[in-house]
Chains A and B, each alone.
Chain A
Amino acid sequence: MTALHDLTARDIASQVRAKKLSAVEVAKHFLSRAKSRDGALKAFLSLRETEAMAEASAVDARIAQGKDPGPLAGVPIALKDNLCLTGSRTTCASKILENFTVPYDATVIEKLRSAGAVFIGKTNMDEFAMGSSTENSAFFTTKNPWDVTRIPGGSSGGSAAAVAARLAPLALGSDTGGSIRQPAALCGVVGLKPTYGRVSRFGLIAFASSLDQIGPFAWNVGDAALLLQVISGYDPKDSTSINRPVPDYGAALKNGVKGLRVGLPKEYFIDGMDPEVERAVRAAVKTMGSLGATVTEVSLPHTDAGLSVYYVLAPSEASSNLARFDGVRFGHRSPKAKNLLEQYELSRDEGFGPEVKRRIMLGAYALSSGYYDAYYLKAQKVRTLIKRDFDDVFKKVDLLLTPTTPTPAFKAGEKSDDPLKMYLSDVFTISCNLAGIPGLSIPCGFSTEGLPLGLQILGRPFEEERVMSAAQAYESATKWVKAPPEPA
């Protein structure tokens, strides 16, 4: 018999709905598994034992009363700790929010609640989602379940590690420059950044508002599609969410890739890239061809500018968003301050970690008088050029295939002293956020050291169903859905 934690989220929900499994049984299983394994992995910042059991009982009660428990009935889900869930400590892995308890639900949480999901815990991340390894968490670094000497990627590293180790069948993350796709690739799971505006950002603690999107983690494409289905849609509380119908993602998965035109952007296959990554991605492209896709080489000429544009725009938006942490209404207030200015300056200096301060400084500089035109405005203009690259290329092809990351998971400490080196680990994922398009990472093999590798599939705005149907066809044709070995 398949262990409970090896069931898909869809199987769990259908068995709970059919009363073959109780939501309480499921919650107990995952909580006890998380408690026994997470000491070594450190994926969770907090587990919600009591609350999750109560939520599971409520699902069972709904079923007993003959009510519809929802499409995620009894499915445990892990939440990145920048998502607001009423009554939960929500820290963004920052000292400044160490004791912050959220008074309201994010829109995605409301949707998940009514879909019958059970919130089992909040996951570790880089502080305020700034980073690519979880090493910027103010509390601890999460381990990669495939090799605990390595990082899980970031910033949603805790969510990726939790799903990879089957501590939860589903998780939510947020992606500003690759923070869902990069850890998904490094942990060997599926991660999707939806089109900007597809999912409400209300209740996601903001990093860079023009780039942030919430998205699903799962260990298979079908479960990711189900989770996206539940969280998508227009929300009057997020004025940047888009009012257009949500397609039936599950039904679209059958469509395959036959007849689709797939492009390989030559700028993503660069000299000096890891040969194992390149080999795996080229093999994946060949598989897509054998499944009926037409493959052509294409060009995104402004790819090289992506990282620079991102490291002007994201820190600028962050410096503005994080101005709200002033020690007045919530968060850390320095006991040393003697006046109002000191209260701001000391509370922020004591509360924020080094990477957050670095980005606030960078953003404040780019926005400051005399430098605004040279940095911020210039970056916004080059952003237009990057977006036009994608507009042009999507006239010729339906999807783009690229590596998700330049290398497999790196060792903890390997890049943490060199911010620029760390920033380069997002080089293949950043443009997708700048252009606002959907992007998915799916496992496409393993390095000789046994580390997972990721294939990135990019699509036109609001064509998540096409991205996922290609991913589904690839997943079905290959054998890369694997869980890391269980510790002895």
Chain B
Amino acid sequence: MSLTDEDVNHVARLARLALTDEERRKYLGQLTRILAHIQKLTAYDTKDVPPTSHIVPLNNVWRPDEAKPFANIEGILANAPEREDTFFKVRKVIE
């Protein structure tokens, strides 16, 4: 199967990547080739084979819900692209 321009645009939007036209063209070709390679998987019979999402059979690792203080708050906020006091400043979410 091969990808279309629309597929690339759709995926770029899902991934929140504003690609340039040149990037779109490049990825169309490269992703098509990589997906063609991945098609190999269809050759394997996986009827009745359970999926492995995680190699270690762990489910629901619980811990007590306890607040623990973190001292270096300034260290976190120092990385903010924009801040006000102890808040991250973001753009208006609802216009």
Q: Which A residues fall within an 8 A CB radius of B?
A: 86-87, 99-104, 196-197, 210, 236, 239-240, 242, 302, 304-305, 307-309, 311-312, 319, 323, 326-333, 337, 339-346, 348-349, 352, 354, 357-358, 360-362, 364-365, 368, 375, 377-385, 387, 419-420, 423, 434-436
A326 to B61 alpha-carbon distance, docked (Å): 28
Q: Which B residues fall within an 8 A CB radius of A?
A: 3, 7-8, 10-12, 14-20, 23, 26-27, 30-31, 33-35, 37-42, 44, 46, 49-56, 58, 61, 63, 70, 72, 75-76, 78-82, 88, 90-93, 95
A384: shortest Cβ distance to chain B, in Å?
A: 5
A360 to B46 alpha-carbon distance, docked (Å): 26
Q: Which of A210, A304, A364, A436 contacts B53 (CB 8 A)?
A: A210
Q: Which of A323, A375, A377, A387 contacts B55 (CB 8 A)?
A: A387
Q: Quick one: given A345-B16, A365-B11, A382-B44, are A240 and B72 in contact (CB under 8 Å)?
A: no
When the two chains form their complex, are residues B38 and A360 in contact, meaning their CB atoms are under 8 A apart?
no
When the two chains form their complex, are residues A103 and B52 in contact, meaning their CB atoms are under 8 A apart?
no
When the two chains form their complex, are residues B49 and A319 in contact, meaning their CB atoms are under 8 A apart?
no
When the two chains form their complex, are residues B81 and A360 in contact, meaning their CB atoms are under 8 A apart?
no
Given contacts A357-B23, A362-B34, 13 further A-B contacts (CB under 8 A): A102-B75, A210-B53, A210-B55, A305-B41, A307-B37, A339-B95, A344-B16, A349-B18, A361-B27, A381-B46, A384-B46, A419-B34, A423-B34
Q: Which of B17, B54, B88, B93 contacts A345 (CB 8 A)?
A: B17
Number of CB contacts from chain A to chain B under 8 A? 167
Residue of A nearest to B89 (CB): A328
B67: shortest Cβ distance to chain A, in Å?
A: 15
When the two chains form their complex, are residues A309 and B58 in contact, meaning their CB atoms are under 8 A apart?
no
The SS class assigned to the A binding surface is helix
When the two chains form their complex, are residues A385 and B38 in contact, meaning their CB atoms are under 8 A apart?
no
Residue of B nearest to A97 (CB): B79
B16: shortest Cβ distance to chain A, in Å?
A: 4
A339 to B18 alpha-carbon distance, docked (Å): 13
A202: shortest Cβ distance to chain B, in Å?
A: 13
Chain B CB count within 10 A is highest, among A333, A357, A365, for: A365
A358: chain B residues within 8 A (beta carbon): 27, 30-31
Q: Which of B17, B26, B52 contacts A383 (CB 8 A)?
A: B52
When the two chains form their complex, are residues B17 and A308 in contact, meaning their CB atoms are under 8 A apart?
no
Chain B CB count within 10 A is highest, among A86, A328, A434, for: A328
- What are 7 residue pairs bridging A and B, where the CB atoms are less than 8 Å apart in the complex? A103-B79, A196-B55, A210-B54, A323-B16, A328-B88, A329-B88, A365-B31
Q: Quick one: given A239-B61, A360-B15, are A328 and B81 in contact (CB under 8 Å)?
A: yes
A323 to B15 alpha-carbon distance, docked (Å): 8
B33: shortest Cβ distance to chain A, in Å?
A: 6
Residue of A nearest to B14 (CB): A364
Q: Quick one: given A368-B14, A379-B41, A420-B37, are A103 and B23 in contact (CB under 8 Å)?
A: no
When the two chains form their complex, are residues A380 and B51 in contact, meaning their CB atoms are under 8 A apart?
yes
When the two chains form their complex, are residues A343 and B17 in contact, meaning their CB atoms are under 8 A apart?
no
When the two chains form their complex, are residues B16 and A348 in contact, meaning their CB atoms are under 8 A apart?
yes
A203 to B16 alpha-carbon distance, docked (Å): 25
B73: shortest Cβ distance to chain A, in Å?
A: 8
A391: shortest Cβ distance to chain B, in Å?
A: 11
B82: chain A residues within 8 A (beta carbon): 333
When the two chains form their complex, are residues A361 and B12 in contact, meaning their CB atoms are under 8 A apart?
yes
